Amino acid sequence: MDGSIEPSHGNSPHVYTKENEAFCILAGDFEFINGDQKFHAGPGDFIYIPKGARYGFRNAGSEPARLLVFYTPAGPDSFFLKNGQEEGAAIPLTREFYETVADQMAAHNIVVLPSDGDWA
């Protein structure tokens, strides 16, 4: 998937139970969490998240950022397509959004986890 992420937006800490996920940063500055650690990633960086790992990301810059998202095996992408995340959609990926689609997330092997206090 090709994603454009608005400043301060991203996703809540979560885990995929059956899929690995990877990101290729095309533009912008992202902050990632991986377990209990945080790190920044920028253009050209590639991040691999194995299934079962707690992680999240957000645009840490002041401009829209862009990344490519890969799932192996494929499948979770259908969750985003079913929930208005197609090209041009303006739905921010916030904890509130995830709470409204929790049942659908479970059907796609996605488990939202508690925040660490300063992570949306």
In terms of C-beta density within 10 A (0-12 exposed, 13-18 middle, 19 or more buried), how is residue 19 classed?
A: buried
DSSP for 20-36, please give it: EEEEEEEES-EEEEETT
Domains and CATH numbers, the chain: 2-112 (2.60.120.10)
Mean pLDDT of the chain: 81
pLDDT digits 0-9 by tens, 69-91: 999 988 777 776 776 555 555 55
Cβ atoms within 10 Å, residue 72: 12
pTM: 0.75
**Residue ranges of the chain whose pLDDT lies below 50:** 120
* pLDDT value of position 35: 80
Total Cβ atoms within 10 A of residue 88: 5
pLDDT of residue 85: 58
The DSSP element (H or E) to which 104 belongs, if any, is helix 102-107
